[in-house]
A and B are shown apart, each in its own frame.
Chain A
Amino acid sequence: MALSELKENGVTILAVDGSLDAEETQILETRVLALLESGETALLFDFSGLDYINSSGLRVLVLAYQRLKKTAGKVAICGIKDYIQEVFEVSGYDRIFPLFPDRGQALAGM
């Protein structure tokens, strides 16, 4: 897994490439918690390079959602592959997280 980060229009974009298995999810969770602690209020997960996610990966997204909801912050996801979108649909998270086709549309819509 490779994690890269940049800030654009007040939104922190976390691009996750590769697999989010249990070990890699731990790295993402640590980073997300640090960003939330430092007061970030808008997070965009760019999953265009993501090949794998499991329920612990989803849990990190839920964690960000629950924390940001309290402070009227935002969390969105962009670029997910169709078979990963199915995981969001089966878990019902497609109704909770705004899903955008790409980064540009996400930044415009957040």
Chain B
Amino acid sequence: MAEKSISFTLTNKQQCFQCFQPIVEEFGAANGLKSKTVFHLTLVLDELITNIISYGYADHDEHPIEVSISLDRDTLRIRLEDDARPFNILEAPEPELDLPLEERARPIGGMGVHLVRNMMHNIAYKRENGKNILLLEKQLTQNGCDSRN
């Protein structure tokens, strides 16, 4: 029987992409997800985990980042938990997409967050016991592809 959920822990000291990308590929293959969905899932995790590692910690210690991915019928869910500084993705500024690149005050700032918001359908954030907990949902069709496409 296909594994419908998977959990793993990374740390801010690891090369995050090499750690989680094979796990996501395997989860996608085991559950028959379309390659485009696997790409979205990989990109979303890459952007979020890179943000946590790049901007989240004031010290140089090792910190765990807990990741869970689950598939419940047509809903793909991601849960991320970290003890980095508070960061609510829902309050992060959007990139200035309508301005020419030369006129943007922050030319590429927030693009990762923008991609995440566009590739997931529901996002919820809470800060609990000194931890960021981010829940993201993506609605899939029965064929495992993005229902918006």
Contact = CB atoms under 8 A, between A and B. Distances in A.
A62 B17 contact: no
Q: Is the interface of B mostly helix, strand, loop or mixed?
A: helix
Interface size class of A (residues with CB under 8 A): 20 to 34
B101 A55 contact: no
Interface in B6-33: 15-18, 21
Nearest to A96: B101
B12 to A, nearest CB: 13
Interface stretch (A9-17, A37-45, A86-94, A101-109): A86-94
Nearest to A58: B111
A23 B14 CA distance: 12
B93 interface: no
Contact of A22 (B17, B100, B115): B17
A44 B77 CA distance: 38
B102 A66 contact: yes
Contact of B101 (A19, A52, A62, A86): A62
B114 A23 contact: no
A56 interface: yes
A59 B104 CA distance: 14
B36 interface: yes
Given A22-B50, A23-B17, A54 B101 contact: no
A19 to B, nearest CB: 8
Interface of B: 15-18, 21, 35-36, 39, 42-43, 46-47, 50, 95, 97-98, 100-102, 107-108, 111-112, 114-115, 118-119, 149
17 contacts: A21-B17, A22-B15, A22-B17, A23-B15, A23-B17, A23-B18, A52-B43, A54-B47, A54-B115, A55-B108, A58-B111, A59-B111, A82-B36, A83-B36, A87-B115, A91-B111, A96-B101
